[in-house]
Amino acid sequence: MTSIHPPRIATWLLRRFSAGPHAEAIAGDLLEQYQSGRSPFWYWRQVLSAVIADMAGSVMLHKARTAGALVGGWVVYFALSFPANAVIMSLRRPTLRWLGYSARPPMYGPESTMLLMLRIESSLVVYVACFICGWIVAKLTRSSASVAAFALSMLVFEYAMIAILSVTQPWPEGATFPIAPLFLVAGRPLSALLGGLLAVKEPRRSPAGV
Amino acid sequence: MAREFLGGFELLVLLALIQLGEDAYGVPIARAIEASSGRPVAIGSLYLTLKRLEQKKLVSSERGEPTAERGGRAKTYFRVTAKGLRAADHARRTLTALWHGVPRLQGEHA
């Protein structure tokens, strides 16, 4: 046996997200193959496909639980949007004052950097709300797969909304495509996923596990 | 009860299990399929298929002892059930009957 260790993050991902009845056997098989000379790239690819296959299998097997997670998650997300908006509005004025503005900067033009800062600030508040959503979904379903399905639905919804708005809304004169929101929006499903991960207990490993 | 059709990969897995006998766990099953099909096998897809075959009662599984070589993780051994053997035999007869009706493929040597 060689002393080569497989990529740690990949192993952690596998342990964290693979919860099926054969999760331990899959981890052992991948380690055995890795130590017989497979590359880290091979290991990463196998881990990702194993996690996706496990989650897809879990979602298909527990359709009612997944549907409940999606409905519950979106209800919580909608309910949290009100306090989140209130926090964003209450933070806006002090932030503008701190930045040296007496009024909201124009939407476009040289002061768009200030607007970006406001966007980042409001995004951080929304991330906290998404984190709480993910945490609640995970506590209710006790399943990483359900949280991942909820986060995926969030990702699809947010980008679909951006696509629809960018096609249907008229562009103000001089405006360029808002790149920043494209990146900031990705943080929402990631926050939900992170919240869910922290809420779901890590699967127990065998006593001899390393 | 209507007999279920086996998927292509399901049949490959069943045949590998029959071939390997008592020593059938993830790694040798994947290697046997890779050797005969010439295509890489994703362990995750393999276990998903094994789980499906277990649900159809075509395969049974048994947990082995944890070993240090595998980081303390146990192997899961798989075995074809009597129902699985019948399903594989039925698939063989179906495929053979269908192949008899296929004219010789172009470029194939006699």
Residue A202 DSSP SS3: coil
- Residue in chain A lying closest to B31 (CA): A33
**Nearest CB partner across the interface for A50, out of B25, B43, B70:** B43
Q: Tens digit of pLDDT for each residue in A63-79?
A: 888 888 899 999 999 99
Q: Look up the CATH architecture of domain B8-98.
A: Orthogonal Bundle (1.10)
Size of interface A-B (CB pairs under 8 A): 93
Average pLDDT, whole number, for chain B?
86
Q: Tens digit of pLDDT for each residue in B38-73?
A: 888 999 889 989 998 998 999 999 888 888 878 788
Q: Do A209 and B72 touch (CB under 8 A)?
A: yes
The pLDDT assigned to A1 comes to 45
Closest-CA residue to A207 (of B46, B66, B99, B92): B66
**Nearest CB partner across the interface for B70, out of A22, A28, A52:** A28
Complex-level ipTM: 0.82
**Nearest CB partner across the interface for A29, out of B27, B45, B72:** B27
- Chain A residues near residue B30 by CB distance under 8 angstroms: 29, 33
In percent, the amount of chain B with pLDDT more than 70 equals 91
- Chain A residues near residue B74 by CB distance under 8 angstroms: 24-25, 28, 206
B54, B61 in Cβ contact below 8 A? yes
Q: Do A209 and B71 touch (CB under 8 A)?
A: yes
CA gap A17, A56 in Å, rounded: 11
The model's pTM is 0.70
Average pLDDT, whole number, for chain A?
82
Query: Taking residues A119-140, what's their average pLDDT?
Result: 90
Record the tokens describing residue A54, joined without a space: 């496990």
